[in-house]
Amino acid sequence: MTNYGFVIDNRTCIGCHACTVACKSEHDVPIGVNRTHVKYIEKGIFPNSTREFSVHRCNHCEDSPCTTICPTTALFNRSDGIVDFDDDRCIGCKSCMQACPYDALYIDPDKGTAAKCNYCAHRVENSFEPACVIVCPTESIISGDLDDPESKISQIVSSESTTVRKPESGAKPNVFYVETSEEMLRPDATEVTGYGMWTDQAFGVGHFAKYAESRLDSADTSSMIVQLALEKKLKSSNSRDRAIIRDVMESLGDEEMTSKRSYDQPSKGVLWGWEVAAYIWTKGICAGVYVVAALSMLAGFVEADSQLWLQTIGIGIFFLALTGVLLVVDLDRPERFLYVLLRPNWDSWLVKGAYILALYGVILLASALVIILGFDLVFLTYISIFGIPVALMAGVYTAWLLGQAKGRSWSEDTSLTLKFLFETLALGGAVFFPLATMEPIYALFGILVLIVAWLHDKKLVIDPQLEALL
């Protein structure tokens, strides 16, 4: 069985970026994004300071989280070990970018679809090596079959001491580094500042760029002073501003850092923005209101009332529709949203969640029909036997989706399921009880809960995306 991988030999890599450019040339990669790039760090105190280079790209993982989470199998594992992609299938949901522990993917600004190193599969098809391998002046990128003991790559992996990036990710990466340092491999070991020894990033690319353009327009001058000021705006409390200038996250604390990141690829920005936070919120409401309503009326806290039911279902349907709209709007290829349902990757919680939402929608519609057609309210109780677990899953499944998005810290949060459960019920209660009691105090409390939940959802979604990935 062929198993392609790379060895990056840092004994010979001179950090020249020939690979970066050869790859751009081979795939006509747009400005601002990279399929492969060279990270530079400096460490130590003069005259014992040194600089290190490390070539980073897709690791063609054996247990790739990106292919697990991709709703449409736009990303897929080949039998020869290459993780390839078909951009005609991609809907631009960016889950892959959240799932990849190695920040290997990007959204193509022309196509709105995900892309990454695909081992130059189009060249491999004709038995040629990837473009980066042949250009390298010092032959520091070695490609080949890891399962062939005669191959150069196997010989290096078996005879030299090699490391991989983030082995704890569980993804089983197939890019092996000969001689690399911990400071290089650990993303949080060096400060991420948005500028380096030769670069500045006045604005982001991709998802930053849309937001950044409006910021530029609102500045009345584009002189370099303004840019400098923007860069220096470390104290800004606006999380989008901080995201733009890549401020250091709290996780780095006040540690004295002797390593410094001197060059890195431009940041891709916050990929799941307010739309995703909002959909979690609207989904929590639409699921929670039904659950809380059903439970309350079943348990007898609240008198079952067709008017109340209709209002509840109405709110449920409204917020479910809003959830749907937000999900679609967040896609970079929104016109392909049906692919989630019609080209399903059953492993992905995006797909399972979409079907759950669809099922929940059916339940809400059926419940609405019961009332509109004047059937006995007891049918609503029968429906709720399925409806409550489905609604609960609708509210909670995002925790499992985030669990698959292994590139970010939320995937390590074991209490996410409970958090989402709690939030679903809280949001549901925040909307249902004011509705049921018509009392101002409940409305006040409800609004408070809605606001707190919204702030929490924003933080939950945005903050982990600001942490250094590389």
Binding mask 409-448 for another protein (x = CB under 8 A): ----------------------------------------
End-to-end Cα separation, the chain, in angstroms: 31
Q: Which stretch binds another protein (CB under 8 A): 78-86, 368-376, 380-388, 444-452?
A: 78-86
Using CB under 8 A, count the residues that bind another protein: 95
- Among the listed ranges 61-69, 81-89, 272-280, 446-454, the one in contact with another protein (CB under 8 A) is 81-89
> Across the beta sheet with 4-9, what order do the strands follow?
141-145, 4-9, 175-178, 162-163
Instruction: Give the residue, chosen from 159, 161, 168, 198, that forms a contact with another protein under the rule CB under 8 A.
Output: 198
Q: Which is nearer to another protein, 199 or 251 (CB)?
A: 199
Q: Mask of contacts with another protein, 56-75, x by CB under 8 A?
A: -----------------x--
- Tell me the closest approach of the beta carbon of residue 438 to another protein, in angstroms: 45
Q: To the nearest whole angstrom, how small is the minimum distance from the Cβ of residue 56 to another protein?
A: 14
- Report which DSSP code applies to 195: B
The three-state (H, E, C) secondary structure of 363-388, written as one string: HHHHHHHHHHCCCCCHHHHHHHHHHH
Cβ proximity to another protein: between 35 and 94 the closer is 35
Q: Which helix (H) or strand (E) holds 6?
A: strand 4-9
Residue 2 touching another protein (CB under 8 A): yes
d(CA 199, CA 123): 32
Single out the residue of 122, 140, 125 nearest to residue 20, CA to CA: 140
Q: Residue 390 in contact with residue 413, Cβ under 8 Å?
A: no
By C-alpha distance, which of 277, 318, 287, 278 is closest to 395? 287
Question: What is the contact mask toward another protein in residues 318 to 357, using x (rule: CB under 8 A)?
Answer: --------------------xx-xxxx-x-----------
Q: At what angle do helices 349-372 and 306-330 cross, to 10 degrees?
A: 150
Q: Give dist(CA 145, CA 168) in Å, integer.
A: 23
**Could you tell me the smallest distance in angstroms from the CB atom of residue 81 to another protein?**
10
Q: Please, are residues 129 and 123 in contact by the beta-carbon 8 Å criterion?
A: yes
- State which of positions 229-268 bind another protein (CB under 8 A): 231-232, 258, 260, 262-263, 266
Q: Where are the alpha helices (DSSP H) in 233-270?
A: 239-244
Among positions 121, 325, 358, 371, the unique one binding another protein when judged by CB under 8 A: 121
Cis peptide before 47 (omega within 30 of 0): yes
Contact with another protein (CB under 8 A) among 124, 271, 302, 370: 124
Amino acid in position 8:
I
User: Which helix or strand (DSSP H or E) is residue 260 part of?
Assistant: strand 260-263
**168-197: which residues touch another protein (CB under 8 A)?**
193, 195, 197
Among residue numbers 206 through 225, which ones bind another protein (CB under 8 A)? 209, 222-225
Radius of gyration of the chain (CA): 25
Least distance in angstroms from the C-beta of 262 to another protein: 8
Dihedral sign computed on CA atoms, order 68, 69, 71, 72: negative
Residues 131-160 that bind another protein (CB under 8 A): 131, 133-139, 143-144, 151
Contact status: 44 vs another protein (CB under 8 A): yes
- Please say which residue, 2 or 163, places its beta carbon nearer to another protein: 2
Q: What sign does the dihedral 437-442-446-449 (CA atoms) show? A: negative
* 314 counts as binding another protein under rule CB under 8 A: no
Give least dist CB 121 to another protein, A.
Answer: 6
Nearer to another protein, 208 or 281 (CB): 208
